[in-house]
Amino acid sequence: MSTFEDRPYTALVVVDVQNGVVKGAYERDAIVANIAGLVDKARRAGVPVVWVQHSDAELAKGSDDWRIVPELAPAADEPHIEKNYGDSFEATNLEAVLADLRVGRLFVVGAETDACIRSTLHGALVRGYDAILVSDAHTTNDRTAWGAPPAEQVIAHTNLYWTYQQAPGRTAGTTDTKGVNFSVASLPV
């Protein structure tokens, strides 16, 4: 359980699934489809879906590249977090939004695996959250030209090391899309 005694609920955090971020990403369509399925599943279970959207010099706010991919449609009443750093908590109101929802457990999905996903997972864990990575619902782009391993290996490595993350009083780990169980910690209706 998270270190938050008064936060028994779960949220799905969708990080940076934006046109310019996932254009050309590894298995883009399959990953986006998995995320769409999780968004629907969370909504049916009464679990909040929190949308995180990055902007910077290359991803200008309001541009087509900045927009969430067309396969995903954030609901008007779902929290929307705008960020400028890899960690979705850094210089944003994500912590306040999750506190208001009494959320202490996060399922994290989105892009990019080796940047904002890793940063957000670590940011959540060090802040006291249970942080579960959905192993088949995150992706990244090919950066082999800069010496990085192929995208498939980056994703596999992240899934491997996050499976074994630990912190006192917190749960980390991975599950695949089929293994996500929202029913145990949804908001009261």
Look over the chain and give the mean of its residue pLDDT values, rounded to a whole number: 95
Bond preceding residue 78 cis, omega within 30 of 0: no
Q: Where are the domains of the chain?
A: 9-183
Structure tokens at 18: 């934006």
pLDDT-derived band of residue 183, with 50, 70 and 90 as boundaries?
Answer: confident
Domain at 9-183, CATH class: alpha beta
For range 25-44, the mean pLDDT: 98
Q: Which residues of 5-34 are buried (b: 16+ CB within 10 A; e: fewer)?
A: eebbbbbbbbbbbbebbbeebbebeebbeb
Mean pLDDT of the 19-42 span: 98
| pLDDT value for 184 | 57
Global pTM value: 0.96
Q: What is the pLDDT of residue 15?
A: 98
Yes or no: say if 186 and 46 are a contact pair by the CB < 8 Å rule: yes
SS3 string, 56-79, reads ECCECCCCCCCCECCCCCCCCCCC
Task: Dump pLDDT digits (tens) for 102-129.
Answer: 999 999 999 999 999 999 999 999 999 9
Closest CA to 15 of 97, 137, 103: 137
Residue 187's pLDDT is: 40
Taking the CB of residue 181, how many other CB atoms lie within 10 A of it? Answer: 12
State the Cα–Cα distance between residues 166 and 181, nearest whole angstrom.
Answer: 20
